[in-house]
Structure 1
């Protein structure tokens, strides 16, 4: 063990750092043990920050981080030095309360994380196949896009959308392009809000989707795009949006938008089990050329598109 480490242990035998170093010396893991521990901590911290960045939880995390750092400094550097026994006694309860509050505050992010974990490639149990709903769905979206008729369609995957179906009008009909076009035709009673497709059937129309927070996407995006993004945070559904001013086709999934899609790229998304995984490098390049993330639609007057 280096001489400097022995000097540190002799200088302050009661500090938490000294206690950790003494345990490290007894373990015999040496410098490599420290490197491995720090590397694991860095990986976990980076993964958590990357997952939370840009979400509501990111702002909450900064507040909790300030509280935890402040409390640690007060207790470890002040209370223990001055032997403030009551503060030292209450600190574990305070810390447990912060952890519990964090779990409650991060409930949407934790739920989303489990959804993404279950959606990982090594957990998928379904094979790539041609679903009978794909062609009528793509045909309807293409026609709505051509006519610049706004649309919002959620295709359920593993996470159920029954609660959202109750906010609209139950239909329970086959997925037919003519029916979808009729539902979204301007002036009809069901054209506003969203359609939900469950188990290969149109389950409900005029459903209210959760709206994304204003800070999560460009202000120029309209209410349909916010509803699509909001639902993509709450479930693993694939949500299709058609702009009523530009006819742009967009898809939201797992909190990410794919914009300016063609019917061909939309079909590819659906055929890949509702996850964009191009089958070849050429397909990947085509998809990148045909779609952009987070490019807001604007009308001729510059106003946000709905």
Structure 2
């Protein structure tokens, strides 16, 4: 290797180094997304800004306080972020940290859709009320914390058993993250829109409410009529047939991002606004 090749190798090494750092940061963001860690990171960012301001204006006491917070902050982060750190280490131990996240994504999405359709069809025929919210880009960590943690693989049998009347978890909503039932008996915000039909109950109001503040997809099975409804972006699609429900759910959860954008556009004019 000639001396002229050394700068090129240095540049390549630096480029690889930067890409690896950005990839690790990206994976960390994906792990903490939708959890309390996001708010805590914002708090740390505020502390850094305060420290810079106090240093610039020579606020000695404030600078000393923020400096102490940052010095001891590492230990505090380990304690506060313990669940997220544990999750990251578990993924690293299973070899998933640097794995291709989209390798089995479509297969998992298809399994998720089939499980939900099977469960919803069963409950609709027997008029078992249900409320299932599927997390997408917007984290639903705050709503998950209002319920009972499950962290179980999604299956039609599990969903049906959760919503069987008079069981401990049948009240409230089930929240699904990827292919996992994150929690059951969760409280969702009720929509305050005056345009909601009076014949709609609490489940439909909660489904519309959560779709107004997140990009989640929420399924409702009416306890009174057994009808199936779907909400997204504040729009309520009511009285869906099994085939229509399958088509809409598949379009939203399985298809490519380009088709999803087209599907979202169809929601805007096909959806019945608040029933």
Give the SS at the match of 2:239: strand
Whole-Å separation in 1 of the counterparts to 2:261 and 2:175: 20
Q: For the aligned residues, what is the CA RMSD?
A: 2.6
Distance 1:292 1:158, change over 3 A: closer
Aligned to 2:208: 229
Of residues 233, 237, 240, the one that matches 1:258 is 237
Aligned to 2:70: none
Aligned to 1:172: 151
**In the alignment, structure 1 residue 239 sits paired with structure 2 residue 218:** yes
Of residues 131, 142, 153, the one that matches 2:121 is 142
Gaps of 5+ in 1: 1-125, 279-283, 297-306
Structure whose CA Rg is larger? 1
Q: Structure 1: which 4+ aligned runs deviate by more than 4 Å? A: 274-278
Aligned to 2:166: 187
- Deviation of 1:262 after TM superposition, in Å, equals 1.8
Whole-Å separation in 2 of the counterparts to 1:176 and 1:193: 18
Whole-Å separation in 2 of the counterparts to 1:294 and 1:242: 18
- Deviation of 1:273 after TM superposition, in Å, equals 2.6
Give the SS at the match of 2:157: helix
**In the alignment, structure 1 residue 152 sits paired with structure 2 residue 135:** no
Gaps of 5+ in 2: 1-101, 254-259
- Deviation of 1:228 after TM superposition, in Å, equals 0.3
Q: In 1, are the aligned partners of 2:175 and 2:181 still within 8 Å (CA)?
A: yes
TM-score by length of 1: 0.49
Aligned residues: 161
Give the SS at the match of 1:188: coil
TM-score by length of 2: 0.54
Aligned to 1:133: 112
Give the SS at the match of 1:236: coil
Aligned to 1:267: 246
Distance 1:129 1:207, change over 3 A: same
Give the SS at the match of 1:211: coil
Give the SS at the match of 1:135: helix
Distance 1:292 1:238, change over 3 A: closer
Q: In 1, are the aligned partners of 2:234 and 2:274 still within 8 Å (CA)?
A: no
Whole-Å separation in 2 of the counterparts to 1:277 and 1:179: 32
Whole-Å separation in 2 of the counterparts to 1:295 and 1:255: 7
What is the 5 A alignment of 1:47-196? 129=106, 131=109, 132-196=111-175
Q: In 2, are the aligned partners of 1:268 and 1:276 still within 8 Å (CA)?
A: no
Of residues 189, 213, 225, the one that matches 1:210 is 189
Q: In 2, are the aligned partners of 1:174 and 1:200 still within 8 Å (CA)?
A: yes
Whole-Å separation in 2 of the counterparts to 1:150 and 1:277: 31
